[in-house]
A and B are shown apart, each in its own frame.
Chain A
Amino acid sequence: MALSMIYSPLLLLLVSCSRRVVSKTTGPTPAPLVPTSTLPTYVKSVVLKGESHTERLELLNPVNLTLECTWAGNQNKEPNITGWWLKDGNDVPNSRVPVELQNEQYNLRGVFSVNNDTTLGNYSCVFANEARIDFLLEAPQIGDVREKPIVSYIGDSTVITCKMDDTKPMPITWNWFRDNGTEKEQIIAESSRFEIKNDERKTRLVVHDLTEEDSGLYYCGAVFAISTPMSHVKLKVITIMEPLKPFLAILVEVVVLVAAILLYEKTQSKKKATAENVPSADQNNTVTQEEPNGPEGSPSTRQRKV
């Protein structure tokens, strides 16, 4: 969905609550399924041509939601067009209504009961396939998701955390889930190996005595009245052998280099020592220069150079 904030059609948004009133109420007591009260409305700027616009809504509690769309229309300004609603790209049944041009504007209004995961999602009002406004309804999302896996070792314990941003509302509580192949299974804190510590905005799952089977995805869910948004962290459990291999490899490299350097130095100094002995032999053994007799070039035949 394009998030073009700059050019957008004029729209009015009315949000109403049925049970928990967030702000002032106006109007008489309505019939069921019709809005009971109104909340702050806000107006967006007008766009001349039909563009799309996306609006994000964070809901904590179940509501009866009224969404109103207003479109300024295109050049044709037909007196009557059709408008309808989409939910997650699918037509909402019985939502296709004729829209009259009033005061140079088209108005479309929809009422939706939003109270759980399935009713949250993307609601769109469409004007005759020309203009469209998307409303993204969701519970507060857990930011700060850790993308890289946590690596831990067999027998060790590990800590997995989830945090709700300071800017977002606080969840009622936190739950942890483990992927069981087919579905997510909730982790019960009472079992010996798992420990769950909940602070208001943070939750920690401590797993003791890790085994290789503990690898996989772990889900933390922030519980709100309306739904439980989740975020996942991957845990990888490895043996001590894994880091041990590079450790030993580098160890071998160091030993080889040190030995090579020290050996090189020894041979160098040996060469120097033999080189130094030769000139002194020349000085003391002019005889041996002419008669290379090795062992006979002994001190007894030495002659001092003048």
Chain B
Amino acid sequence: MNLSVHDTYTFAAGELNMSPAAASNLDYTPPDGGWGWAVVFASFISIGFSYAFPKSLTIFFKEIQEYFSVSYSDIAWISSVMLASMYAGGPISSILVNRYGSRPVVMAGGLMVCAGMVLASFGTSIIHLYLCVGVIGGVGLAFNLQPALTIISTYFQAKRPLANGLAMTGSPVLLSTLAPLNQFLFDSFGWRGSFLILGSIVLNCCVAGALMRPVNKLVKPKPDIELSKRNGEEVEGIGKQPDAHLSVDKENSCQRCLYRFIDFSLFKHRGFLIYLVGNVAMFFGFFAPVVFLAPYAKDLGIDEYSAAFLLSIFALVDMFIRPATGLIGNTKWVRPRIQYFFSFAVLYNGVCHLLCPLATGYTGLVVYSVFFGSAFGMLSALLFEVLMDLVGAPRFSTAVGLVTIIECGPVLLGPPLSGALVDIFGDYKYMYYACGVMMLVPGIYFFIMHYYNYKKLEEEHRKSADVEKRTSDEAVTLNANQDDQPVNE
């Protein structure tokens, strides 16, 4: 008898005299283990498909391009449409998760992508592919990504960075699996047959969805001030809904409606705004270096197979760094200041790219791939963990929906803009400088802003601790005056 997930989200967050920060904003204790690890595995699969699936489809593009007699850029649009749909579908996904929980949404997402791919395998025009693979597939993947991230925040609190790191590892692992698999499918069945079979493979997201059991809310939370201090999470409540913790039914139905759809109050949230602004800037330079790694290598005179091998090195390093980052993020030294760790990761990326043009020859590029792989992995593992840390678990679903739809722009524009830079200057190094700067500046921005944010949070925490003391004192005096009345509990 599990309560549905959406009940949590209709509660007000951070009831001051009950559960400060930490187990914060949740009125139950997350298991931090047990079935949680099965959920991590399920998220691993869902996140893996969401990120790796669009990238792995590029293997079919040459053949499809010849089949439909279109230019390569027309074909590349399939990837872009899919990515755009995946990011734009974020808010829809958030709404559905808030209402129905992760499990049904992920299973629906899996079915959608399967349907999209099966329909695409019978495609007769490129527009058909844009719609089936791009739109339907993309939205289906959005229905996988958001819930997978959200459910981790419901299952984990103390071990959350580790859980996030492990779940995000799905992306490089699945990409390394899908790439050769797709090649094999293509050689055996051509593009149509491959799309059909890929449709069934992606249906495994439904298996992942089945594993995403809604978390058991019956365990009461432990009011743990120490825990909250260590985690440095914020204490402030929603502010709009006083006494909402008493009963869901008594809550104002209008506010409940609002809360259930998009929570625009997030835009007043300091941490969220910091995260959003920094990320939008950073995403311009995030994916482009990955896209251009192989072309850059070929431009330097390296043969095609060695250039492809660079990407394999990158993926391999990425694969191991993500869980490692999760582990580090979980340590007691890093966890309270995890925002700094994230800022460092962004800076590290920037520095990597700025130094890339110094790499001459194949060994230089191998070294760069290793460092870039570690930087990329570190950043990816922390990307959503820090958002959870900033806004807290109940609002995470909405937050990530808003973040993805706003990030849609830079993610789509980044690679073409970088490509334009390469074309204008005829040299890849300016693009790397630009990407380096696009990550360095947000990195420094994050450091400064989070320093300010942590200070503010501590101030607020001290204030709330004072208020709590005062209210408990009042309660004691109140009970002393009313001790002859029967207490009904």
Contacts and interface: CB of A to CB of B under 8 A. Distances in A.
Interface in A237-270: 238, 240, 242-244, 246-248, 250-251, 254, 257-258, 261-262, 265, 269
B187 A262 contact: no
Interface in B186-212: 187-190, 192-194, 196-197, 199-201, 203-204, 206-207, 210-211
19 contacts: A148-B187, A151-B193, A159-B69, A204-B66, A238-B189, A238-B193, A240-B193, A243-B189, A243-B196, A247-B199, A250-B203, A251-B200, A254-B200, A254-B203, A257-B204, A258-B107, A258-B210, A269-B1, A273-B1
A257 B200 CA distance: 14
B224 to A, nearest CB: 26
Contacts of B451: none
Contacts of B264: none
Contact of A258 (B197, B206, B213): B206
A204 B201 CA distance: 33
B68 to A, nearest CB: 9
Interface string A143-177: 00000111111001011010000000000000000
A152 B66 contact: no
A261 B197 contact: no
B67 interface: yes
A258 B107 CA distance: 10
A159 B64 CA distance: 10
Given A159-B66, A159-B69, A254 B190 contact: no
Interface of A: 148-153, 156, 158-159, 161, 204, 238, 240, 242-244, 246-248, 250-251, 254, 257-258, 261-262, 265, 269, 273
B190 A152 contact: yes
Contact of A257 (B192, B194, B207): B207
Contacts of B213: 265
A257 B210 contact: yes
A156 B210 CA distance: 38
A29 B187 CA distance: 59
Residue in A149, A204, A243, A273 whose Cβ sees the most chain B Cβ within 10 Å:
A243
Contact of A247 (B107, B197, B207): B197
A258 B199 CA distance: 17
B193 A254 contact: no
Contacts of B2: 269
Contacts of A262: 210
A242 B189 contact: yes
A247 B1 contact: no
Contacts of B193: 151, 153, 238, 240, 242-243
A153 B200 contact: no
Interface of B: 1-2, 66-67, 69, 107, 187-190, 192-194, 196-197, 199-201, 203-204, 206-207, 210-211, 213
Contacts of B107: 258
B207 A161 contact: no
B201 A244 contact: no
Contacts of A148: 187
A250 B200 contact: yes
A293 B201 CA distance: 54
Contacts of B69: 159
Contacts of A269: 1-2
Contacts of B210: 257-258, 261-262
A270 to B, nearest CB: 10
Contacts of A242: 189, 193
Contacts of A250: 197, 200-201, 203-204
A296 to B, nearest CB: 28
B196 A258 contact: no
Contacts of A150: 190
A150 B206 CA distance: 33
A294 B252 CA distance: 46
A257 B210 CA distance: 9
A208 B306 CA distance: 39
A229 B62 CA distance: 25
Contacts of A247: 196-197, 199-200
Contacts of A152: 190
Contact of B207 (A238, A246, A248, A261): A261
Nearest to B186: A151
Contact of A153 (B188, B192, B204): B192
B207 A151 contact: no
Nearest to B207: A257
Given A243-B194, A247-B196, A261-B207, 20 more contacts: A148-B187, A151-B189, A152-B190, A153-B190, A204-B66, A238-B193, A240-B193, A242-B189, A242-B193, A243-B189, A243-B193, A246-B200, A247-B197, A247-B200, A250-B200, A250-B204, A254-B200, A254-B203, A257-B207, A265-B213
A161 B66 contact: yes
A196 to B, nearest CB: 14
Contacts of B207: 254, 257-258, 261
A148 B183 CA distance: 11
A111 B193 CA distance: 56
Contacts of A261: 207, 210-211
B298 to A, nearest CB: 16
A250 B192 CA distance: 17
A233 to B, nearest CB: 12
Nearest to A161: B66
Contacts of B1: 269, 273
Nearest first, the 4 closest Cβ-Cβ pairs linking A and B are A243-B193, A151-B190, A250-B200, A261-B210
A223 B204 CA distance: 51
A251 B192 CA distance: 17
A151 B197 contact: no
B336 to A, nearest CB: 35
Contact of A251 (B66, B187, B203): B203
B65 to A, nearest CB: 10
Contacts of A151: 187-190, 193
B204 A254 contact: yes
Contacts of B203: 250-251, 254
Of the candidates B2, B190, B192, B210, the one having the most CB atoms from chain A within 10 angstroms of its own CB is B190
A151 B196 CA distance: 14
A186 B69 CA distance: 24
A261 B212 CA distance: 10
